[in-house]
Chains A and B, each alone.
Chain A
Amino acid sequence: MIEFGQPAAFWTGLAVGLPILAHMAYRRITDRHEFTSIRFITVSQIPRTGRRTPTDIALLLLRILLFLVIMFLLADPYWSSPGSPTKDAVDEEILIAIDLSPSMGGWNAMKEVKIEASKIIEGTDSRIGVIAFGQTSVLEWPMGTNKNELLDKVGGLVHGWGSGDAQVLLDRVDRIFGENALQKKLIVISDFQRGDWQSVDFDLSKKNIQLEVIRVGSGESETFRFNNQSIADVKVVPAGPEKVRVWSVVRNWSQLKKLFFVELVIGGEVQGRQAVEIPSGSSQQVQFIVPSSEVSQAKIRLDSNDSLALDNQRTVWLKAPPPKQFGFWQDSDLDEATRSEKNFLKTAVESAGDNGWNRWEESADNADGLRMAYEDSKLELLMVLGLSQWFTEEGLAEPLSTYLKSGGVVILTPSEIFSETASIIREANWFKFSFIRVAGGASAVRNPFRIGALEEGSKLSDTFSGKSARDLYLTAFRKFGILNGVDDTTDIALRDREGRPLSLSKSFASGGRLIFFPFRLNTSWSDLPLRTSFLPLLMELIRKENGEDQAWPILEPGEQFGAGEQPFVAEKPGVYRHGGKWIEVVFPSAESVVDTVTDDEILNRLSQAVISEKNSEGVDSASINKDKNSLWLWFAIIAATLLTIEMIWSRPIQSVQNKKGVSNA
């Protein structure tokens, strides 16, 4: 029996085809007539008198047939023969899918889920299975599981912590149904929270699966679902000697203004309590300053009677993240130029942080440790100032290379004798270039060198624009080493206006970075350190491609930290220690969202409309298992054949001189 996948194509085909056929049937055909002169022949309206010669009628019929075949083609025809029911055929299978995302932990959703699921299990004679899904398809009881066992298992379900993903369920659901089921029905019980369902896309109709949705956690009052307050963010930062600031952001998802309390709990005791009044759909910051103590963790919680309690508290480490450390290598006999350079750089880098999560701190010990080739010495940035003979004498090239290979960032500046610096760099094979001479000097003070336009699309051109770019371009270089023949592996972030390099840098596979300024960072060589653009320039140049945030790792349940044999996998919100790292696991923020997806949206996303339509036409359950053979190819062949015949038939007849020809439609 022939059926159609897209029966609506017939209506479209008729709507388009009938006017065309009517036009063709009554189209006026003009005879070609060769004539001596058309000088006195004027254009006139041609009477519409349809030709009805036998040839035209046959051609018209052919064209009608061609249209019909094309309409059939567009309607996706297939031949279906009722499949013979096998011995093991089952009338109906029902799969109950239960949402276990964290949002189900509120709004009374889990309790309603158990009631609804139990009703279904007890009230059906069909084969039944249950799948409970959260971030992954966590629990599964296959089709045919004993009803009592199912009731028992469903009664013991609790919500998960990982952010929900309904797509996991849909990708899995087809494999749970048996192949011999004549009718497959999926019943989803969920709160349909937008965060979990907004990206769902699956065509259940292709799998012949009927869908039923049961919404839970919506309550009876209109405002029930929207009554939620949550802790959106918490951070701990230094707040002066022996003190830390616990900084939090609290959000009111409710449709009404809410007054509630935010409490800081340390060591089981409430150390601070603040009342906050937040308008509908707004957030507010709340801060507590507490002394650093022996107790290492604290809890921020909301004293609120909202519908989702899981997002009302957050546990944090009561300590600020460690600062990034930097250090210097210089000649032990420090000259005035190098001292000035060092002071500039120390002040600049220390001021680059925000005194919170991104602080910089000088560590002379760690710098010396590196100099002594102690591998345990941690340093984020090493600045080697006035690179000259002392560097070679101390044999520092190798420890520096090792540091670079381990992911360190190094800045090199030349000594007053530039050629010595150039030799050391070339010998260590850090950069390849030719040193020409040092440009400028006392005679050029009034006519300094300036930075040329930044290369379009480069990192620096993205950073500098407007006033900051103008400040950078006004930088005066009085002296710098002219380098030539720089190899292709070296990035030249800065050039003077004649295209000569003012900054060489090279990235290493480890993430390490080596930067060489061919000028000294003091005012006798350049006024760059005095410029406000200096600090962003310096930070941009030393920024590693895959630089890690200095703050504690903050994970959501289900996420993983670290690689190797023992990675940390977050399961529940809280604070954890793993491999020397202080880790915070937080409640998934998306689960606090109170919006839900409507039933219509769900049905649209899962193509349920098609299924409903089929059912309304009274298709019996046996027809679901029909064998379908597509006839598309056959209709395509027929259409192509008819089109060819039509084209040959109606081709223009070649006119012969002095003989009348007919221009065919």
Chain B
Amino acid sequence: MVASADKDLLKSSHLSKIADFRLLAKVVVDGGMPGIHRSLRQGRGNEFFQYRPYNPGDDLKVVDWKVYAKREELVAKTFQEDTNFNLFLVLDTSASMGYQGANASCTKLHYASMLAACFAYIGFKQGDRVGLFAYGEEVQEWIRPASGHSHFGRIVNAITRLEASGVNKHETAWDQLVGNMPGRSMVVFLSDFLEAEELLPERLKFALSSRYEALCLQVLDREEMELPKGDALRFVELEGGREVSTSPEIIKHEYLRKMNHFKEVLARNLAGVSAEFECLFSDQNLGHALRRFLGLRNRNM
């Protein structure tokens, strides 16, 4: 079943054409990876889920007496039961996330947004309380965790509004986030984590607690690993505007070595604070990330 996720339907090049993140999440989760999430718990939750025939032996409290009065038929009301689990989605919207390589079908932010929408949908389907924290130079969106259909709609709308801009202020944003973290949470970070290998683990020490889980998904463009093609390029930094002229062909190997080293350091440091780490490329299909997410989510059930 999981193997079937690696289908064309999950390719980012296809999915990036779907502008509606709500639809996209349904397509991915319900269509591309059917049955990957645990079915909804029905019980004494707050939100009405559906009617079902009354089975003898059921508590009479679940009988909808108004329906009985109209139709003289016993039906039982079922409610969606809250899991009391918080899913916090943290998105980096700094300017560097707006990068789109020559062969990429979407920007890094768009890719991260697609993943976030899917995570939110899965959380919604499982009855988790889902929150969103998006920041660049300043906080762009901050939706406190809650559950329910309408809340999912708010989350998706907020994701749709995100734009990549400004210089990354990881430190300020994360301090703000950690100070308002709800109890028993899973925090999913979606960022390129550029230049944050030392800073991020320091801020994720909360993941050492058994009440929290942290999943850090590094979203990169393929060109960020391989450098764009060209004899001579004048690289202008998206955040800060610094420039350097060089020949990518000449520095390619040295650059790759440094990038790998950076990722190794980042992974090692995150492991040190019990945070899960995964590096994703924006041309990669979404199945791998979803599986990784669900694996961690289910571990906490």
Contact = CB atoms under 8 A, between A and B. Distances in A.
Interface stretch (B45-53, B92-100, B151-159): B92-100
Interface stretch (A32-40, A92-100, A449-457, A506-514): A32-40
A38 B230 contact: no
A623 B234 CA distance: 60
B239 interface: yes
Contacts of A663: 234
Interface string B66-99: 0000000000000000000000000000001011
A37 B233 contact: no
Interface in A439-493: none
A33 B234 contact: yes
Contacts of B176: none
Contact of B259 (A40, A45, A47): A40
A654 interface: no
Contact of B231 (A37, A41, A49): A49
Interface in A16-43: 28-43
A167 B279 CA distance: 93
Chain B interface, >50% SS class? mixed
A546 interface: no
Given A31-B232, A33-B236, A658 B100 contact: yes
B246 A33 contact: no
A55 interface: no
Interface residues of A, number: 25
Given A41-B255, A44-B251, A30 B233 contact: yes
A37 B237 contact: yes
A37 to B, nearest CB: 5
Given A36-B194, A36-B238, A658-B99, A41 B232 contact: no
B255 A38 contact: no
B283 interface: no
Contacts of A44: 246-247, 250-251
Contacts of B244: 38, 41-43
Contacts of A35: 99, 228, 235-238
B99 A36 contact: yes
A46 interface: yes
A28 B232 contact: yes
B7 interface: no
Given A41-B251, A658-B98, A36 B192 contact: yes
Interface string B195-214: 10000000000000000000
A264 B265 CA distance: 115
Contacts of A30: 232-234, 245
A47 B234 contact: no
Interface in B247-301: 247, 250-251, 254-255, 258-259, 262
Contact of B96 (A29, A36, A42, A46): A36
A34 B228 CA distance: 11
Contacts of A38: 235, 237, 242-244
Contact of A41 (B107, B192, B246): B246
B171 interface: no
A301 B251 CA distance: 97
B102 to A, nearest CB: 9
A44 B255 CA distance: 12
B195 A37 contact: yes
B172 to A, nearest CB: 19
Contacts of B96: 36-37
Interface residues of B, number: 35
B245 A46 contact: yes
B238 A45 contact: no
B246 to A, nearest CB: 5
B224 interface: yes
A41 B195 CA distance: 13
Interface string A35-73: 111111111111101000000000000000000000000
B95 to A, nearest CB: 8
B221 interface: yes
Contact of A33 (B192, B228, B239, B251): B228
Contacts of A49: 231
A545 B287 CA distance: 109
A40 B255 contact: yes
Contacts of B245: 30, 43, 46
Given A41-B251, A43-B245, A45-B250, A31 B234 contact: yes
Given A35-B99, A36-B99, A40-B262, A47 B251 contact: no
B246 A42 contact: yes
A83 B194 CA distance: 81
A36 B232 contact: no
A33 B233 contact: yes
Contacts of B236: 32-35, 655
Best-buried of B246, B251, B258 by chain A (most CB within 10 Å): B246
Contacts of B100: 658
Contacts of B231: 46-47, 49
Contact of A45 (B98, B233, B234, B247): B247
A42 B194 contact: no
Contacts of A34: 99, 235-238
Nearest to B228: A33
B246 A37 contact: no
Best-buried of B230, B239, B245, B247 by chain A (most CB within 10 Å): B245
A46 B195 contact: no
B247 A41 contact: no
25 contacts: A29-B232, A30-B234, A33-B234, A35-B228, A35-B238, A36-B99, A36-B194, A36-B237, A36-B238, A37-B239, A38-B235, A38-B242, A38-B244, A39-B195, A40-B258, A41-B227, A41-B251, A43-B244, A44-B246, A44-B247, A45-B250, A46-B245, A47-B231, A47-B232, A658-B99
Given A33-B235, A37-B194, 5 more contacts: A31-B233, A34-B235, A40-B258, A41-B244, A658-B98
Leading 7 A-B pairs by shortest Cβ distance: A36-B96, A40-B258, A30-B234, A44-B250, A46-B232, A33-B233, A30-B232
Interface of A: 28-47, 49, 655, 657-658, 663
